[in-house]
Structure 1
Amino acid sequence: MSLEYILTSIVVILLPGTGVLYTVAVGLGKGFQPSIAAAFGCTLGIVPAALASIIGVAAIFHSSTLAFQLLKYLGVVYLFYVSWSILRSGGALEVNDERKERTLPHTVLDGILLNVLNPKLSLFFLAFLPQFVSPNSAQATSALLLHALVFMLLTFLIFVAYGATASLARDYVITRPKVMAWLKRGFAATFGALGVKLAFAES
């Protein structure tokens, strides 16, 4: 595995997307441990896209408008749901000292769904992974799996770092309700905008 692949993966993962935003939101709202659950869920959500690219299912989404559109609009609906859940009482970005409102499995599940319901992730892996593995290699499939696992490990570690950074700001935020209110609106608006962007995405 090349250093180029690792560095490229790190740059890609560092770019703010739905997973990063969700992990940061949970870190701010619930603290470090729940942010780890969010990072873990987002990482697990990569598995279907990685496997799809390896076995060629992602190519079906690329060539089948119906399949892409179906998954896309499921993703749009879920992004709007996340936007709404951030604003509602007890949502992902509700900051208080009571941490039993939102269970860790629920946080993991939301992270999984955010990535599973994003068809662009499958297309990304379809275009990204083959660049670093020779198609003529006898171990091409194994190499693709290894590259996908490394990408997932890097994703988890970087997302945990994002969550840790956000959780460190939690005490500052919890004593400033107005700051929290603006953060909630900002995150909700961002997820809503991502939903609109995905709705107009082309296959």
Structure 2
Amino acid sequence: MFDYSWAHWLTFFGAAFALEIVPGPDLLFIATKTARHGRGHGFAAMFGVWTGALVHVAATVLGLAAILARSAMAFSVIKWMGAAYLVWLGIQALISAQRGNDTSEAPSVPVAPSRWAAYRQGILVDLLNPKVALFFLAFIPQFVVPGAGPVTAQLALHGLLLFVVAGLIEPALILVGDRLMRLLRGRRRLAAWAERGVGAIFIGLGARLALAQR
């Protein structure tokens, strides 16, 4: 069972690493939580994103993602919900930047919501992006090898291995990002512009998702 060649694993992990380092809504959300509230919130956001991704993997294994791929209405509903949520996150970041810029006092760390809230938001950011579901549906089945084991088991194995790749990259990015933001927190104006940039990117990602086609 699970009898794969070295070429198979090199192809799979090479593609997984390449896809992991490409910035997207998930990675940007994790980076934003880290930058605003520290690595604790960054890790909470990361685990939230992973929880949402795990749902997508399960849906792919069970064949539910194929329903989303075939149903224009289901795709559109989830797409617009996800786009609205990303735009809302972007607006919140812009408001936070404006508040931080209005104060003439010494800069302070923004009041942090609970890590549980960051975790829940991470789940929503991932679940409300139908492109993620379609990604898993298109990516994982490519690595199913006839005779290597039950198809369902192969799908589940490769889906779970994507989390191994994420676990090698995202925690390191959180720790590095937290260290960098600690150096920037004393520079209020620069921090405000960084917050505006994050807000603009989230709004842009929301707009891109709204225009996405299956």
- TM normalised by structure 2 equals 0.86
Structure-2 change in CA distance of 1:194 and 1:97 (3 Å): closer
Question: Percent identity at matched positions?
Answer: 31
Write out per-residue CA displacement over residues 105-161 of structure 1, whole angstroms, 9 at most, x where no aligned residue.
111111111000000011101110011112555422112111111102322432212
Q: Give the equivalent residue in structure 1 for 2:28.
A: 21
Structure 2: gaps of 5 or more residues: 101-106
Q: Give the equivalent residue in structure 2 for 1:46.
A: 53
Rg (Cα) greater in structure: 2
Q: Give the equivalent residue in structure 2 for 1:78.
A: 85
Segment of structure 1 superposing worse, 23-32 or 70-79: 23-32
Between the aligned partners of 1:177 and 1:140, the Cα distance in structure 2 is 54
Q: 1:151 aligns with which of 159, 162, 167?
A: 162
Aligned-pair Cα RMSD in Å: 2.1
Q: Give the equivalent residue in structure 1 for 2:69.
A: 62
Is the CA contact 1:84–1:188 (under 8 Å) kept in the aligned structure 2?
yes
Between the aligned partners of 2:147 and 2:77, the Cα distance in structure 1 is 34
Segment of structure 1 superposing worse, 183-192 or 130-139: 130-139
Q: CA deviation at 1:87?
A: 2.6
How many residues align? The count is: 200
Segment of structure 1 superposing worse, 2-11 or 187-196: 2-11
Q: Give the equivalent residue in structure 2 for 1:125.
A: 136
Q: CA deviation at 1:98?
A: 6.6
Between the aligned partners of 1:98 and 1:119, the Cα distance in structure 2 is 32
Helix, strand or coil for the counterpart of 2:191?
Answer: helix
Between the aligned partners of 2:27 and 2:180, the Cα distance in structure 1 is 16
Between the aligned partners of 1:178 and 1:87, the Cα distance in structure 2 is 13
Structure 1: gaps of 5 or more residues: none
Helix, strand or coil for the counterpart of 2:145?
Answer: coil
Q: Give the equivalent residue in structure 1 for 2:212.
A: 201
Between the aligned partners of 2:18 and 2:118, the Cα distance in structure 1 is 25
